[in-house]
Amino acid sequence: MAEILLSAQGLGVRFGSFNAIEDLNLSIARGTLHSVIGPNGAGKTTLFNALSGTRIPTQGEIRFQGHPITNVPAYGRVHLGLSRSFQLTNIFRDLSVAENILLALQAVAGREAWAFWRNRDPLKVRKKRAAELADTVGLSARFEARAGDLSHGAQRALEIAMALASDPKLLFLDEPLAGMGLDDVHRTKLLIKSLAPERTVVLIEHNMSVVLDISDTVTVLAQGKKIAEGSPQAIRTNVEVKNAYLGSAA
Amino acid sequence: MTTEGLRFPNGTTVVIAVFLIALPCILPSLTLASEILVLATGALSCTLLLGSVGLLSFGQGLYFGLGAYVSAILIRDFELTALAATIVASLAGCLLAAAAGLLIVRRQGVYFVMLTLAFAQMGFFLALAFPRLTGGENGFGNVPRTTIAFGQFALSNPLLLYAFLAFLSFAAFALVQRIVASPFGSVLNSIRYNESRSEALGYDARRFKLAAVTMAGGIAALAGAMNTLMLSFVPLSAIDVETSERLLIASLIGGVGSPLGALIGASVLSAMSDFLSPIWPRWSTIVAVLLIVTVLFLRDGLLGLGGVLRRQGKEMPNG
């Protein structure tokens, strides 16, 4: 069996008396593309927030490469090799595409971010890396454009470029296709697929055809609990999943 | 402030330098020019916090007061020269701000503001509670006019005093410009835009905020020390909440989009006080109106006035 990169044991997130996530066990194998699906309110984003450090879970333990990281804050997890994109586009709208990516690169460039005695002259190496990242997500032509002026699809792409800037071992993508046009969906799908197996990808996505097409493993959540897990083929035919999720759509 | 592509030194640096040199030539008295320098430097600490990291501090008067008392004690009782006393007082401001900041930066938004206010109030009552150290309500008096350093350049010469205050003030403005245009400044800027995103990129927002709060504390304390040099005296009001308020209002009226705003806001406020107070004792009412107008219609302060007028002109037919 493949090495487990990230695991959650007995994970619980509680908001007051409401259990958003309850006693969840999850194992993400290195180099796989692992999708988390489920109906609205199933707790997918809450799970992402707990795994990426935005929300410290109320119960359970999270391990990354065997080390517990349950209480490591979000910024700390970036330096361990985890990175995330957001469901609602979360970029610096007033900065250019280049500046957004450079800001992300600077965050993992050691002491660079603390330099207050000199101007911002990013090294050629870093500018080149920023251009490469823009190219990876198809934003080369808009490199100097203001991020807020980009189309919705292009902003989603920028999100991914910024998440990739830290050269993460594990990348969380929260609904990267949400609100994208058909062309963008296809291109972004190929991009996500190309990230594994070099990187491990955990994906939340509503577009079922894409999920079933590119995932290695699919975990199905409903009401904060895991109701099924397996290959896309197994999930497609799972009766419980049909009832809880696919059935509701039909 | 839009800071990308910003460099230091730049045109604004020159404008600030010219402004500081021109002030005593334009204004009727050196005292008024000196008052502007003190207020501008204090307001600059609010501009740094609000304009770069987006932190609203209602308590910069605490560090202003601390700087005023520390420098006064060092000059009168320990016979330090002005430069040495100013440096030590500024460092004391950094230290206190770092210590208070450890607690303050744990909270965001309104709670952050309330904590800065609470610390400022505490400082005032401590100053009142230890009159043997601070002179209490009578203030801390008899601070001799010392020399700048090494027994050279006596500050009893009013023009030299102004020159020294202008030098200190310029150093503070240059420092803030330096910070804003640096890689560190780009992080502060990103935290102001979007704190959660900055953290997701890997920045420890709290540590960066703490660093900014520490620097701002040092600058406010520097302004306090300048106040002592100017007055040879520390009134209790140097550490009261009204001082915090004045620093904040000066920075808001001038505009926090650039360090220059602090200088403009302080000039307007001090000049109004000087010209209007003999005519109308309730002149502060005008400041209140000015603040309301600024907040409602001039979000970038007087600094943004030019831009607003230009846009208005474009929208006017035949304008």
Taking CB atoms and an 8 Å cutoff, what residues of chain B touch A75? Answer: 199-205
Mean pLDDT of all residues in A167-180: 91
Spatial distance between the Cα atoms of B265 and A159, rounded to a whole number of angstroms: 39
Question: What pLDDT, on a 0 to 100 scale, did the predictor assign at position A27?
Answer: 95
A and B: number of Cβ contacts within 8 A: 92
Contact B178 A117 (CB under 8 A): yes
Question: What pLDDT, on a 0 to 100 scale, did the predictor assign at position B61?
Answer: 97
A92 lies within 8 A of chain B by CB: yes
Interface of B with A (CB under 8 A): 2, 4, 6-8, 178-179, 181-187, 190, 193-194, 196-205, 208, 211
Q: What pLDDT digit, counting tens, does each position of A211-240 carry?
A: 999 999 999 998 889 988 999 999 888 888
Contact B184 A78 (CB under 8 A): no
Contact B199 A73 (CB under 8 A): yes
Q: What pLDDT digit, counting tens, does each position of A98-127 carry?
A: 999 999 999 998 888 898 888 887 777 889
Q: What pLDDT digit, counting tens, does each position of B131-148 carry?
A: 999 999 999 999 999 999
For residues B282 and A241, which has the higher predicted lDDT (pLDDT)? B282
What is the total residue count of chain B? 319
A165 lies within 8 A of chain B by CB: yes
A143 lies within 8 A of chain B by CB: no
Mean pLDDT of all residues in B278-304: 88
Question: What pLDDT, on a 0 to 100 scale, did the predictor assign at position B316?
Answer: 52
Q: What pLDDT digit, counting tens, does each position of A53-70 carry?
A: 988 899 999 999 999 999
A39: left (phi over 0), alpha (psi -120 to 50) or beta: beta
Contact B202 A54 (CB under 8 A): no
A80 lies within 8 A of chain B by CB: no
A134-143, A230-239, B194-203: segment of lowest average pLDDT: A230-239
CB B261 within 8 A of CB B255: yes
Mean pLDDT of all residues in A2-29: 91
Domains belonging to chain A, first-starting first, are 1-81+168-250 (3.40.50.300), 90-167 (no CATH)
CB A23 within 8 A of CB A187: no
pLDDT over 60 at B59, yes or no: yes
**pTM, to two decimals:** 0.90
Question: What pLDDT, on a 0 to 100 scale, did the predictor assign at position A238?
Answer: 84
pLDDT-derived band at B58, boundaries 50, 70, 90: very high
pLDDT-derived band at B211, boundaries 50, 70, 90: very high
pLDDT-derived band at B4, boundaries 50, 70, 90: low
pLDDT over 50 at B318, yes or no: no
User: Mapped to the 3 state alphabet, what secondary structure does chain A carry?
Assistant: CCCEEEEEEEEEEEECCEEEEEEEEEEEECCCEEEEECCCCCCHHHHHHHHHCCCCCCEEEEEECCEECCCCCHHHHHHHCEEECCCCCCCCCCCEHHHHHHHHHHHCCHHHHHCCCCCCCCCHHHHHHHHHHHHHCCCHHHCCCEHHHCCHHHHHHHHHHHHHCCCCCEEEEECCCCCCCHHHHHHHHHHHHHHCCCCEEEEECCCHHHHHHHCCEEEEEECCEEEEEECHHHHHHCHHHHHHHHHHHC
Taking CB atoms and an 8 Å cutoff, what residues of chain B touch A56? Answer: none
B13 CA: distance to closest CA in chain A (Å): 14
Taking CB atoms and an 8 Å cutoff, what residues of chain A touch B177? Answer: none
Contact A114 B204 (CB under 8 A): no
pLDDT-derived band at B34, boundaries 50, 70, 90: very high
Contact A117 B182 (CB under 8 A): yes
Contact B182 A92 (CB under 8 A): no
Spatial distance between the Cα atoms of A220 and A235, rounded to a whole number of angstroms: 8
Max mean pLDDT among A177-181, A204-208, B86-90, B294-298 falls in B86-90
Average pLDDT along chain A: 89
Taking CB atoms and an 8 Å cutoff, what residues of chain B touch A113? Answer: 183-184, 187, 203, 208
How far is CA B69 from its chain centroid?
17
Question: What pLDDT, on a 0 to 100 scale, did the predictor assign at position A178?
Answer: 86
Question: What pLDDT, on a 0 to 100 scale, did the predictor assign at position A246?
Answer: 55
Contact A119 B8 (CB under 8 A): yes
pLDDT over 60 at B3, yes or no: no
- How many other C-beta atoms are found inside a 10 Å radius of the C-beta of residue B305? 15
The DSSP secondary-structure symbol of B57 reads -
For residues B150 and B254, which has the higher predicted lDDT (pLDDT)? B254
Nearest-Cα residue of chain A relative to residue B175: A117
Contact B199 A84 (CB under 8 A): no
Spatial distance between the Cα atoms of B280 and A83, rounded to a whole number of angstroms: 61
**Amino acid letter for position A187:** R
Contact B200 A79 (CB under 8 A): no
- How many other C-beta atoms are found inside a 10 Å radius of the C-beta of residue B282? 8
pLDDT over 70 at B208, yes or no: yes
pLDDT over 60 at B319, yes or no: no
pLDDT over 70 at A245, yes or no: no
- B contact test, residue of A87, A94, A97, A103 with most B CBs within 10 A: A103
Question: What pLDDT, on a 0 to 100 scale, did the predictor assign at position A102?
Answer: 94
pLDDT-derived band at B1, boundaries 50, 70, 90: very low
Please state at what angle helix B60-77 crosses helix B109-129, rounded to 10 degrees. Answer: 30
B7-11, B93-97, B161-165: segment of lowest average pLDDT: B7-11
Question: What pLDDT, on a 0 to 100 scale, did the predictor assign at position A196?
Answer: 85
